[in-house]
Every structure is written in C-alpha cells, then in structure tokens.
C-alpha cells in the first residue's frame, strides 16, 4: 500500500489517505496547532483528531532535544498517540526576524526565552524533527513578508531550495517511515513560485507545502497564487497549505486540490470569546447570550456543547474564568474537525459544490 492515496475526487477536490508511523490520516484534514507541545488551553486527549501540529523551533529551545529523547520522543512526552507534524521554524525566522540572521549555511538566532545564541543548519533542523519522532517533518525554509522586493523573494527562493536539498540529504539516514515535506516559496510572483516548486519537485519529498502566503497580501491575490501553485504539485503527493484557517477559505482551497491545513484561529479566537458555528461566528461576551440555554452550536457533539449553555460560558467570560477559554477553544477545534468531515463526505458523495454553496449561504460572518 502506498503512503498516500487519493481515493475519490470531486472536481479538483480530493479525498485521500496518508499513512504515517502513528496511523492513517484521512484528508482533507485540519490539524490543531500545539506549538509548544500543547494546544493552548485544551487537553489534547479530549480531541478526536488524527494529527496535530507542533513547532520544532520552540521545542528545540524548550524543553530541548535531551529532555525529549529522555522521555522517548515527543509523542510519549505529551502522551499523544496519533500523528504529529512539526513545522521547522521557517515561519518563526520570518515573524521573529529581529532575533534571526540568515547565513548561507543556516540561521543564527537568539532564543526568545533567554536571549541565548544558537546556530541551526537546515540539516540539523530536519534531524531534530526526526530525532523527536515527528511523523511529518518540514524542511527549513525562508519566508518573506508582503510586500518584499522581487530580488529579496528570488534570493529567499534560492535559499529555500538549497536548504530543502540539504534537509533531504540529512533525512537519508532515517529509515523510519517518517515523512519529509518541502515548502514552496516565491511570494506573490507567479514565475518565482513556479521556479521554486519545479526545483523542489526534482527531489523525492514525501509531500509539499505551500508557504509564504497569508503574510499580508490581499485575499484575491493569495487565492490566485494558491490555485496556480496547487496545480503545479504532483497528483500523487499530499499538499499542505500552511496557516490557512478561516472556514470559507478552507472550502475554497480544498476546491483547488489542497489536502492539509493548520491554523491558530480556533484557539486564538476561542480565548477571545469568539465561537465558530455553522451559521457563522458568535461572540460569547455579547450580553444577548446571558440567558441563552442553548449550546454554542446545537449540531455539535463536543463536550462543551453536550454539557454547557451559551449563558453559562458567557458568565465564565464575564468573570474571567479560564474554563471559558478552554470550552470555547475546544468547541472551535471540534468545529474545524466536523467541517473537514463534512468536506470529506461531500467529496466522497460527489456533492462538494452543493455542500460548499450551502455552507457559504449559512455562514454569515459575525452574529
């Protein structure tokens, strides 16, 4: 059996199965983000999902390789038996750029925790992820802000391709079934994205991620580049769109042929009292919910919706109880998991366009 198989199609939307050392992941899949080996505010044993995301840059600094190895790897450390995808830290180089200096053979950086100095090569970034037992490993890449001069983006493309190749050579000594993905860059320049993608596709990566979008460019421009980039990628490998979260955009991107997504929105918005429902977003701090006996979403089977009312969670936010953030974050992640289940069912049943239309008609933004 192949590690990735497309089992059904509806237009360009694909239903797939990705097999990792920790099980099978049905795609399209949403991966909750647990940057520092924790999904903020949510006990991960309450989540019914096949894969979560963590971040190698943060784990490298804390708790560090020695402690993670001492516990027998990241899965045992956090007691999570399903798959884990780790991002390499390329996005942190971008978002915490004041702490990083790019060198030809790697990145020099200071710890965001204690200011200590570190140097990381692309080989080490990949080896670290293999050593901690990540199931899906991301190459170290170089992401640029929008807008950036073309020459800078072209240089980031060269760095990204060179680093991906170096990471691939480091991966050769691990015959463990762990997957290594490359990340495409090129900003919003179609030809640079093509150049980057074609160079990366010359190598036997297990999957490809579209990176360097969602960094401030207008939505329409992002969607054009995404659609083009997804079209370039091989049909028989998983395609991951990094940091893509809003529900309507997930429908759009699945329609373009994407398989995997992650985003911090379910927990970040959950901590700010914003809950996702199939009729749009609601703000649980809103006074209109104080006597509301209904759950956040009547169609949701998550523990927050099975047991608690909007009125109770509204009260918890009002008196600043931590439980408010936990329940709302838990619900929002459950919503994303239900949403991707609905998407998978619609691809299987050949009803993706109708289901997408129904969802978009019901999604009213903030209520």
Q: State the binding string over 301-320 for Zn ion (x if CB under 5 A, else -).
A: -x-xx---------------
Minimum distance, C-beta of residue 201 to Zn ion, in the bound complex (Å):
40
Minimum distance, C-beta of residue 200 to Zn ion, in the bound complex (Å):
39
Helices (H), 172-255: 190-201, 219-232, 247-255
Binding of Zn ion at residue 120 (CB under 5 A)?
A: no
Stretch that binds Zn ion, among 119-127, 159-167, 180-188, 323-331 (CB under 5 A): 323-331
Parallel, antiparallel, or unpaired for β 136-138 and 117-120?
unpaired
Chain residues 200-239 in contact with Zn ion, contact rule CB under 5 A: none
Minimum distance, C-beta of residue 358 to Zn ion, in the bound complex (Å):
20
Minimum distance, C-beta of residue 184 to Zn ion, in the bound complex (Å):
35
Stretch that binds Zn ion, among 75-83, 252-260, 316-324, 334-342 (CB under 5 A): 334-342
Structure tokens at 364: 């009213």
Of 170 and 304, which CB lies nearer to Zn ion in the complex structure? 304
Of 6 and 302, which CB lies nearer to Zn ion in the complex structure? 302
* Cα distances (angstroms) measured from residue 7 to each of 2, 26, 58, 136, 142: 12, 10, 36, 21, 33
DSSP letter at 42 equals: B
Q: Which of 217, 213, 192 is nearest to 258 (CA)?
A: 213
Chain residues 140-199 in contact with Zn ion, contact rule CB under 5 A: none
Minimum distance, C-beta of residue 40 to Zn ion, in the bound complex (Å):
17
Of 158 and 341, which CB lies nearer to Zn ion in the complex structure? 341
Q: Which of 40, 331, 344, 356 binds Zn ion (CB under 5 A)?
A: 331
Minimum distance, C-beta of residue 117 to Zn ion, in the bound complex (Å):
45
Of 179 and 310, which CB lies nearer to Zn ion in the complex structure? 310
User: Binders of Zn ion: how many residues, by CB under 5 A?
Assistant: 6
Minimum distance, C-beta of residue 303 to Zn ion, in the bound complex (Å):
8
In whole angstroms, give the CA distance from residue 338 to residue 134: 25
Binding of Zn ion at residue 300 (CB under 5 A)?
A: yes
Beta bridge partners of 146: none
Parallel, antiparallel, or unpaired for β 280-283 and 274-277?
antiparallel
Stretch that binds Zn ion, among 62-70, 131-139, 145-153, 327-335 (CB under 5 A): 327-335
Structure tokens at 178: 């762990």
Active site residues: 87, 262
Of 1 and 306, which CB lies nearer to Zn ion in the complex structure? 306
Chain residues 43-62 in contact with Zn ion, contact rule CB under 5 A: none
Stretch that binds Zn ion, among 118-126, 283-291, 293-301, 342-350 (CB under 5 A): 293-301
First to last CA, the chain: 46
In whole angstroms, give the CA distance from residue 281 to residue 315: 18
Q: Which of 14, 2, 71, 7 is nearest to 230 (CA)?
A: 14
Stretch that binds Zn ion, among 86-94, 147-155, 278-286, 299-307 (CB under 5 A): 299-307
Secondary structure (DSSP) of 284-341: TTSGGGTT--S-S-TT--SHHHHH--HHHHHHHHHTT-HHHHHHHHHHHHHHHHHHHH
User: Residues near 21 by Cβ (< 8 Å), separated by ≥ 6?
Assistant: 83, 133, 135, 176, 177, 178
Of 140 and 313, which CB lies nearer to Zn ion in the complex structure? 313
**Chain positions contacting Zn ion, by CB under 5 A:** 300, 302, 304-305, 331, 334
């Amino acid at each position: 059996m192949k590690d990735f198989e497309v089992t059904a199609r509806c237009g360009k939307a694909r239903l797939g199965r990705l097999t990792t050392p920790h099980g099978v992941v049905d795609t399209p899949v949403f991966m909750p983000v647990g940057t520092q080996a924790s999904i903020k505010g949510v006990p991960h044993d309450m989540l019914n999902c096949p894969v979560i995301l963590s971040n190698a840059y943060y784990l490298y600094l804390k708790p560090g390789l020695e402690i993670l190895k001492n516990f027998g790897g990241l899965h045992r450390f956090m007691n999570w038996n399903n798959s884990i995808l780790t991002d390499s830290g390329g996005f942190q180089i971008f978002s915490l750029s004041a702490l990083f200096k790019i060198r030809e053979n790697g990145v020099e950086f200071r710890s965001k925790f204690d200011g200590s100095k570190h140097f990381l090569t692309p080989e080490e970034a990949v080896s670290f992820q293999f050593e901690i037992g990540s199931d899906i490993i991301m190459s170290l890449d170089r992401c640029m802000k929008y807008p950036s001069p073309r020459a800078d983006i072209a240089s980031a493309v060269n760095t990204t391709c060179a680093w991906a190749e170096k990471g691939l050579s480091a991966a050769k000594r691990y015959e463990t079934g762990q997957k290594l993905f490359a990340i495409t860059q090129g900003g919003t320049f179609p030809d640079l994205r093509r150049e980057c993608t074609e160079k990366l596709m010359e190598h036997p990566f297990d999957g490809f991620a579209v990176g360097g979008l969602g960094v401030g460019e207008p939505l329409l421009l992002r969607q054009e580049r995404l659609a083009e980039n997804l079209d370039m990628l091989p049909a028989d490998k998983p395609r991951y769109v990094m940091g893509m979260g809003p529900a309507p955009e997930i429908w759009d991107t699945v329609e373009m042929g994407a398989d995997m997504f992650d985003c911090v929105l379910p927990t970040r918005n959950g901590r700010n009292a914003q809950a996702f429902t199939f009729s749009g977003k609601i703000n649980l701090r809103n006074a209109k919910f104080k006597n509301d006996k209904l759950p956040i979403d009547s169609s949701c089977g998550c523990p927050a919706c099975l047991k608690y009312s909007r009125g109770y969670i509204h009260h918890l936010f009002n008196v600043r109880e931590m439980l408010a953030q936990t329940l709302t974050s838990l619900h929002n992640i459950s919503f994303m998991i239900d949403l991707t289940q609905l998407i998978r069912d619609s691809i299987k049943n050949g009803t993706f366009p109708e289901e997408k239309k129904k969802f978009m008609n019901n999604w009213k933004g903030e209520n």
